[in-house]
């Protein structure tokens, strides 16, 4: 396999990796690195490196939880907005009908009505 083919394969694999899979792998790595810290220290993976990864994993989990809470809140707010917006549209429609019955067409523009009839 050429270097270019390997890069493509790695990119495809990374594109298909879910957040949950990455977090699971990161936790396994932290556990493995912790268990073999002495051996890995010879190659530059010290306790600060392991602690940094563990901190990032914890932070990602916290941020993901916050994001899910915000998504739920957004859905609720969107539903509330849609109900109120629909009510505004109905009210405008009703008012437009009543204005057209009451005011001559020349005066409709004052109400933002650009209809001809």
In a domain, 19, yes or no: yes
Number of domains composing the chain: 1
Res. 82: pLDDT tops 80: yes
In this prediction the pTM is: 0.64
Residue 23 neighbours by CB distance under 10 Å: 14
CA distance 11 to 103: 66
In a domain, 117, yes or no: no
In a domain, 24, yes or no: yes
In a domain, 54, yes or no: yes
* Residue 33 contacts residue 40 (beta carbons within 8 Å): yes
Range of the domain at 42: 3-111
CA distance 87 to 107: 25
Among the residue ranges 6-15, 78-87, 103-112, the one predicted with the least confidence is 6-15
32-63 pLDDT, tens digit per residue, is 999 999 999 999 999 999 999 999 999 999 99
16 pLDDT band, cuts 50/70/90, is: confident
């Amino acid at each position: 396999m050429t270097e270019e083919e390997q890069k493509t394969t790695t990119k495809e694999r990374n594109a298909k990796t879910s957040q949950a899979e990455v977090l699971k792998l990161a936790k396994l790595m932290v556990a493995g690195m912790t268990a073999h810290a002495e051996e890995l220290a010879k190659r530059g993976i010290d306790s600060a490196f392991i602690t940094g990864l563990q901190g990032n994993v914890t932070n990602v989990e916290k941020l993901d939880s916050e994001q899910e809470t915000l998504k739920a809140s957004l859905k609720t707010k969107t539903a509330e907005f849609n109900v109120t917006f629909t009510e505004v549209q109905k009210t405008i429609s009703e008012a437009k009908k009543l204005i057209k019955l009451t005011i001559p067409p020349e005066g409709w523009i004052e109400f933002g009505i650009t209809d001809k009839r």
